[in-house]
Chain A
Amino acid sequence: MNEVSRANQPAASQTGQGEADRRSGNQPRRAEMRVRPTAPILPPSNIQGNALMVVIAIMAFLACLTLGAVSMVRTTAAGWQSQISREITIQIKPDDGLDMDAALVKARDLALTFVGTRSGTIMDDAATARLLEPWLGADLQLDELPVPRLVIVTIDESNPPDFAAMRDLLKTEVPQAFLDDHRTWVDRLVSMARTTVWIGTGVLILVFTAMILTVIFATRGALSGNRHIVEVLHFVGAERGFVAREFQKHFLRISLKGSAIGGALAAFLFATANVWQSSSRATPESEQAMALFGSFSIGWSGYLGIFATMIVIALLTTVTARFTVMRTIDEIDLVRSDPSRSDGLPPS
């Protein structure tokens, strides 16, 4: 190694001279030599890098939008189900010799004896008339018509009463009573809500798959433009880990920027829609939007999901960059061990 240390003797001697100049108080010439702050090994911005950032921003925006929409649909569907199943109805059909008012009170009291019921309301004459008004017109005299009457019982959703037992008891005590637990409607709505959530989840999976593939291919595309850098680093003696780390850092920065832009845009969109809906509540436009989409609020879990999506995209890009660089180095090594893979280099 003696000859190695001698190899740069001119350089070393000049360095020594510079030190001597400094010590003797002379202004060293090197002081005039200013170098810029060391640039990163990978160019901070180039066409491929910018294009990748835009692709990541777009895919992050779409993925976050889908995630928010699915979370919204899920909340709305849960709301439908909950509002319907919160009530049951006891219907009493008129019959000869039946004291309707007494039967209504009896049915309500019977229902309230069950654990899991909360309150019972007898739909009075006025309310029943209002209910039938669209079909039978105003000024309806209920005494003149055999109109069934209703008792609405609210139940504890988390601890519902035994509907079969209640039905049997009512049948025994008030034979004209018929208990409707809205099961048919609830079942239909639950199935519709589930289908909607499944469709939403399916769309979410598709969008996330598209996002993953797009990010992987865009990262690999951006990396292919930097292959010469990998080769140079490899040939100046850089270890695999060093090269991979440099590329990881670079692509992590790009992906964080891209996914933050996309995610923030989606979050802003949801927040704006939510604010608009709150401020224009009870207007026809808002009611229409509410009926179609439910509430635009995605809650903290939705925003957390958007943040998680951003992190997933950033990690995905970084891991893809690492694997692609490792593979590029493997390919260079493969050429070493198998000259026939020599990229068509002329054996001049």
Chain B
Amino acid sequence: MIHFENVGLRYGMGPEILRDMTFDIPKRSFQFLTGPSGAGKTTLLRLLFMSLNPTRGIIRMFGRDLSQIPRDEFPMLRRRVGIVFQDFRLLDHLTTYENVALPLRVRGKEEASYRNDVIDLLKWVGLGERINVLPPVLSGGEKQRAAIARALMDRPEILLADEPTGNVDPPMARRLLSLFMELNRLGTAVVIATHDLALMDQIDARRMILTEGRLDIYE
């Protein structure tokens, strides 16, 4: 589904942050992306989310070479990728329901056509009682789940999550992990960027370990 070949990235004239990345993210796969702080996890996620272009190498997503895609087509590709930002990026003036419905709204869909689906998804992530609440009132775990629900709303083929358990306590972290596993079981590929070893030890999944810009993969 996603293929990186000899990908490298540097900021300006600085050293390469990421070097010689060659890997695949298969359909329906589940992997952790880990490594020490400053190793380049967020940068790699941004490459996966098409918010950065590599300075060398080739990235193919859904069978298409990203360097050959016109700019206007990127929104269509982004719709196939769900992302959960480390800082959630929920809009504070919209309710949980409206935040989660945002991806469908920007596609021009009528509210009546998705209202029930949004409510069902919110129930599925355990926010059934927090539908009309504004994000500033939500706890860290609730915000995280709202951000996950938003990323899932348009049924992406791959979900990228940046430190999804960074702001929650261990029980909530386990609950979120179950959510990701359930999602993966239903067919969505999942990439979780984390440096939470305890979280990774809970399941036997593929590990992509970034060290000083180089990637080692443990199947």
The proximity string for B residues 100-135 relative to A, scoring 1 for CB distances below 8 Å and 0 otherwise, is 011101111001000111011101100010011000
Cβ contact within 8 Å between B106 and A332: no
Size category, A interface:
35 or more
* Known A236-B102, A336-B52, A339-B10; contact A10-B124, beta-carbon cutoff 8 A: yes
Which one of B78, B95, B121 contacts A11 once the chains associate, using CB atoms below 8 Å? B121
CB of A335 closer than 8 Å to a CB of B: yes
CB of A39 closer than 8 Å to a CB of B: yes
A235 surroundings in chain B (CB, below 8 A): 49, 51, 78, 83, 85, 89
* Known A237-B76, A347-B38; contact A342-B52, beta-carbon cutoff 8 A: yes
Residue of A nearest to B42 (CB): A348
Rounded to whole Å, the gap between the CB of A129 and the closest CB of chain B is 83
Complex Cα gap A333–B66 (Å):
13
Main secondary structure of the interface of A (DSSP, over half): helix
14 interchain pairs (CB within 8 A)?
A3-B186, A3-B187, A7-B156, A7-B183, A33-B131, A38-B105, A41-B91, A235-B51, A238-B75, A239-B72, A239-B106, A340-B12, A342-B11, A346-B42
Question: Which B residues between 43 and 75 are near A, CB-CB below 8 angstroms?
Answer: 43, 49-53, 55, 71-72, 74-75
The proximity string for B residues 160-203 relative to A, scoring 1 for CB distances below 8 Å and 0 otherwise, is 00000000000000000000001100111000000000000000
The proximity string for A residues 334-346 relative to B, scoring 1 for CB distances below 8 Å and 0 otherwise, is 0111111010011
Rounded to whole Å, the gap between the CB of B133 and the closest CB of chain A is 11
Cβ contact within 8 Å between B152 and A7: yes
Rounded to whole Å, the gap between the CB of B210 and the closest CB of chain A is 10
* Known A30-B119, A231-B89, A237-B75; contact A4-B50, beta-carbon cutoff 8 A: no
Cβ contact within 8 Å between A8 and B117: yes
Which one of B39, B53, B89 contacts A337 once the chains associate, using CB atoms below 8 Å? B53
CB of A159 closer than 8 Å to a CB of B: no
CB of A233 closer than 8 Å to a CB of B: yes
Cβ contact within 8 Å between B106 and A237: yes
CB of A6 closer than 8 Å to a CB of B: yes
Which one of A18, A33, A237 contacts B78 once the chains associate, using CB atoms below 8 Å? A237
Cβ contact within 8 Å between B116 and A242: no
CB of B97 closer than 8 Å to a CB of A: yes
Cβ contact within 8 Å between A18 and B91: no
Cβ contact within 8 Å between B78 and A3: no
